[in-house]
Amino acid sequence: MASRRTITGFSNPLVKFLRSLRDKKHRKREKRFLAEGLRLLTDARECGKVPEILVMATGREAHPLLDALEAAVEKAGGEIVEMDVDILAKVTGKDNPQAVAGVFAEFDTRLSTIDRDAAPIWLVAQALRDPGNLGTMLRTGDAVGAGGLILIDDCADPFSVEAVRASMGAIFTQKLATARWEEFLPWLRSGSGQLVAASLRDSTDYRTAPYAAPCFLMVGNESQGLPAAYEEACDLRVTMPMLGRADSLNAAVAGAVLAYEALAHLREV
């Protein structure tokens, strides 16, 4: 059975704990992260992931999805906490918070958890620094039926409130792995997999490129792109035409364009 309690004060230790999860240092120490919103938590539940702590605003409207979420937490022996909406706003850092939030254990992000043959497309991001871009790439992966997102080198924290929010629930539907380049490349070459880089160097038009599954589509840092040595290690380098004054696309947008093009190609073969 889940434990239930109501919190009425800002100084409650649990409120301080929940607020601390907005800080990367505390998330890493606790190996926990915060997600908010009934839709996002429902996606988590439908993927078999239930929050250890379910936080709800007092006075919220009844909803069958919330009833299902409470039942799942109760079955898992988690904790259900109610608090005033102004306290919940302090927890989430939003003036108009969602009526529900949850604390989840961080996932195992080792490369060894990835089954490369589980999907025809995988997204790879190197040194991606913006949590919004990271969350968008997770969302793109979900949309194109990708297996997941592999983060290379020093990327933004995928478990930050901003990245989780931007993923629109895809943090729960997509596999997630983190690795250094020196670890990723030998892992990739130990099995099947085509590594494709978004690049301007000696590249092929992205519309005519010979994509092959499992296809690992890699984009680089928002401002620097991919290191030259990383591009040279790829099986294929592709480029998208820039017909205006801009010389490149946003990293997450580039990943989405490539993913849909690769998907269309792989469906034809």
157-202 confidence digits (pLDDT tens): 999 999 999 999 999 999 999 999 999 999 999 999 999 998 877 7
Query: Residue 131 — pLDDT band, cuts 50, 70, 90?
Result: very high
Question: Residues 55, 60, 65, CA angle at the centre, nearest 5°?
Answer: 75
3-state secondary structure 234-267: CCEEEECCCCCCCCCCCHHHHHHHHHHHHHHHHH
Right CATH for 111-268 from 3.30.70.2740, 3.30.465.10, 3.40.50.2020, 3.40.1280.10: 3.40.1280.10
- Whether 155 shows a pLDDT value over 60: the answer reads yes
User: 38-46 and 64-76 are packed helices; what angle lies between their axes, rounded to 10 degrees?
Assistant: 50
Q: Which residue ranges does the chain devote to CATH 3.40.1280.10?
A: 111-268
pLDDT score, position 187: 97
Q: Which residue ranges does the chain devote to CATH 3.30.1330.30?
A: 3-105
Which amino acid type is present at position 34?
Answer: L
Fold of 3-105: 60s Ribosomal Protein L30; Chain: A; (3.30.1330)
How high does pLDDT run on average in the chain?
A: 91
Alpha carbon distance 123, 256 (integer Å): 9
pLDDT tens for 51-110 read 999 999 898 888 899 999 999 999 999 999 999 988 988 888 777 767 899 999 999 999
Alpha carbon distance 17, 9 (integer Å): 13
